[in-house]
Amino acid sequence: MTEIVTRRHVFGPCAVGAVVAALAASHDWLFYAQASVGLMAALLLLAFVLFVIEEPADSERHIKPEYLISQIGQVSDEVDYRSGQVIISGEKWSARSDQAIAAGSRIKVLQVAEGTEGQHLVVEPFTIKPKIFSGGASS
């Protein structure tokens, strides 16, 4: 089950390598040949999975940054005017704020900004303001 939810698929290629080594053993190959063939199969498949099948980290985003404005998220690493991390719709983003916001706090995205280190979100603390109703029931 862990293999399904992890980004780096390591156990699958290792299992394939073990199967290849077992096939070599069934044909009475020497131990060193079995180990070498199994290891090479595992490493080649792992390289293929990591560098050919997996998308680069920059394309992992499922949400376009411009759609994040006014969205509500949660701080994962304290946010201040220099750095911080927030999670919005399950994706982690770099964030900045004029005031320090503690981890675990809720935030609202004000804008998407470009900096020397790439895009980051400008956020503010989010609090629910109660609506005040005036008057009573009218007849």
For the stretch 60-91, pLDDT in tens is 556 777 788 999 999 999 999 888 999 988 88
What is the value of pTM for the model shown? 0.50
Q: Quickly name the fold that domain 61-125 has.
A: OB fold (Dihydrolipoamide Acetyltransferase, E2P) (2.40.50)
Mean pLDDT by 10 residues, the chain (139 residues): 52 86 92 92 84 57 78 92 88 91 94 83 87 65
Sign for the pseudo-dihedral over CA of 57, 58, 59, 62: positive
Q: How far apart are the first and last CA of the chain?
A: 61
Q: What does the domain layout of the chain look like in residue ranges? A: 2-54, 61-125
